[in-house]
Structure 1
Amino acid sequence: MRRFFKLLYKMLQKNEKLTSPTIQKDIVDCFSKEIIKSICNEIGKDVFAIIVDESSDVSKNEQMAIVLRYVDRLGIVKERFIEIVHVLDTSSLTLKAATDTVFSNNNLSMTQVRAQGYDGASNTSDAFNGLKSLILSKKSYANYIHCFAHQLQLVVVAVAKKHDDVNEFFEQLALVVTVVCGSCKRKDMIQEMQKERVAAEIGIGETEIGKGLNQEISFVRAGDTR
């Protein structure tokens, strides 16, 4: 039996390299749980602010990101991302249910929330049916603050549109995306040209190769905040 385990150990040393995607995901998941646990332990029973934003990823799945803002015991203001949640839709009721689930899983309470920050989307900041109003109806002291970064972004967009060269650039960009995406033949032609260019650059050493590099992506129509 001892000889068998010695042989098994030698085999594992050669074969066990933890390169399986499933094993790697499990390891990352364990790390994330420990980090979130340490953040929640640091908050304890103190108050904090919640920052929520929702958007779709490259595979067109709706997601909601949750960030907590709090002051630690040394008086340092911290913002910590705790989770990104897949949601079936972005209605205020769905976002509220997802937020409650995250709080429940991490031993946090809505009574600890003293502020909430979102962008100007109606599903979050609407005065009657938004996520803001759903939380305020239960916790009147959870003050709403419009995300300053989003406000600044809108200001930059407004100023940029007044600049003729910048405005023309984005107009031309929108036309390129419309023309390319409107025809499968043109899209295939662009993809083939890109493959040839990448292959040529790899051949002369100007482009690095490796896992996750040089991936094909789809053209996305430009938006004011993207």
Structure 2
Amino acid sequence: MIQKDLAHACASEITSVIINDIGDNYFSLIVDESRDSSVKEQMGVVLRYVNKEGRVIERFLAIVHVSDTTSLCLKDAIDSLFAQHGLSLSKLRGQRYDGASNMRGEFNGLKALILQENPYAMYIHCFAHQLQLVIVAVAKGNIIVSEFFVYVSMIVNLTGASCKRRDQLRQIEHDKIVTLLDSGDIISGKGKNQETSLARPGDTRWGSHYLTLLRLSSMWASVIGILGNIQDDATTSDNRVFIGNHK
């Protein structure tokens, strides 16, 4: 309880400094929403403004739990957050979201609901999200690249399809590292040789593909071992052919 009280006190002081720094100036709103590990919908709120020294500042304000991701629910959450910190919607001059319909919808999206109250709150489609969509479209348009990542996803899904396989992969990787340490091929040290696992790539986070490839490359020998085990355990000829072709 004391730790939570300290965390809340620190958060309150930091938030107070941010609000005081904004003062009565205009500001912009950046919002994104996603589920957390406990499958609760969360909305992250960031404010962008120009401080007294003329520098453009971005400050994370809060993570707000929302019952659902409808535009009306998000708008109510923003109104409540603004009222809590004494922020006025009339001072809003920009709003930036991704391309989801609940955010950028022309008639019922969060953008439209805010514009109904403040026509000066210009909407800008998140440039990072736009770039992400371009990269995904270009990658899928190239047959070689597209098929390559299809195979990568298949391998990751196969090796992580069950707790048993994940445990086997972890154990094989552990045994490999121990062997390399004993032979002197790698050295130990703080932060080195940490336990890791394969990461699934996702189109909404292109950086996740890079992380997947890095981990797949470093754990390739262990992955081959797991695929061999799956092939041995396969009960149908179709499964044997599938695993054999993709090894």
Measured in 2, the distance between the counterparts of 1:67 and 1:156 equals: 25
Q: Which residue of 2 aligns with 1:206?
A: 188
In the TM superposition, 1:83-94 aligns within 5 A as 83-94=62-73
Tell me the CA shift for residue 152 of structure 1: 1.6
**Cα distance in 1, alignment partners of residues 45 and 54 from structure 2:** 22
Matched, 1:101 2:80: yes
- Determine whether 1:57 maps to 2:39: no
* Structure 2 counterparts to residues 1-226 of structure 1, below 5 A: 22-163=1-142, 166-194=145-173, 196=175, 206=188, 208=190, 221-226=200-205
Q: Do 1:198 and 1:207's aligned partners in 2 also have CA atoms closer than 8 Å?
A: no
Task: Tell me the equivalent position of 1:8.
Answer: none
Distance 1:138 1:167, change over 3 A: same
Query: What is the aligned partner in structure 2 of residue 10 from structure 1?
Result: none
Taking structure 1 as reference, are residues 196 and 62 closer, same or farther at Cα in structure 2, changes over 3 Å only? farther
Please give the alpha-carbon distance, in whole angstroms, between the structure 2 residues aligned to 1:120 and 1:58. Answer: 23
Q: Tell me the C-alpha RMSD between the 2 structures.
A: 2.9
Flag the 1:75–1:192 CA change in 2: closer, same or farther, 3 A: same
Give the match for residue 222 of structure 2.
Answer: none
Residues 156 and 109 (structure 1), Cα distance of their counterparts in 2 relative to 1, 3 Å cut: same
Q: What is the Cα deviation at residue 66 of structure 1?
A: 0.5
The secondary structure found in structure 2 opposite 1:37 is helix
1:67-92 deviations in Å (ceiling 9; x for gaps):
11111122211111111112222111
Q: Which runs of 5+ in 1 are unaligned?
A: 1-21
Q: Secondary structure at the match of 1:173?
A: helix
Q: Secondary structure at the match of 2:172?
A: helix
Structure 2 runs not aligned, ≥5 long: 206-247
Tell me the residue number matched to 1:15.
Answer: none
Q: Work out the CA distance in 2 between the residues paired with 1:27 and 1:197.
A: 43
In the aligned structure 1, how far is the partner of 2:169 from the partner of 2:38? 21
Higher fraction of helix: 2
| Partner amino acid, structure 2, of 1:30 | A
C-alpha distance in 2, partners of 1:200/1:126? 56
Instruction: Name the CA distance, whole Å, in 2 between partners of 1:31 and 1:175.
Output: 45
1:103-162 Cα deviation digits (max 9, x unpaired): 111111111111111010111111111111111122222111111121122222223334
Residue matched to 1:7: none
**Range moving further from structure 2, 77-86 or 22-31:** 22-31
How far 1:205 moved relative to its partner? 6.0
SS of residue paired to 1:54: strand
| Cα pair distance change 1:49/1:201, threshold 3 Å | farther
The alignment of Structure 1 onto Structure 2 pairs a total of residues equal to: 202
Amino acid at match of 1:65: G
Distance 2:144 2:6 in 1: 48
Task: Go from structure 1 to structure 2 and tell me whether the alpha carbon gap of 1:178 and 1:135 turns closer, same or farther (over 3 Å shift).
Answer: same
Supply the AA of the counterpart residue of 1:84.
I
SS in 2 for 1:28: helix
Compared CA separation, residues 202 and 91, structure 1 to 2 (3 A): farther
In the TM superposition, residue 51 of structure 1 has moved relative to its aligned partner by 0.7
Summarize the Cα distance change of 1:54–1:199 in structure 2 as closer, same or farther, 3 Å threshold.
farther
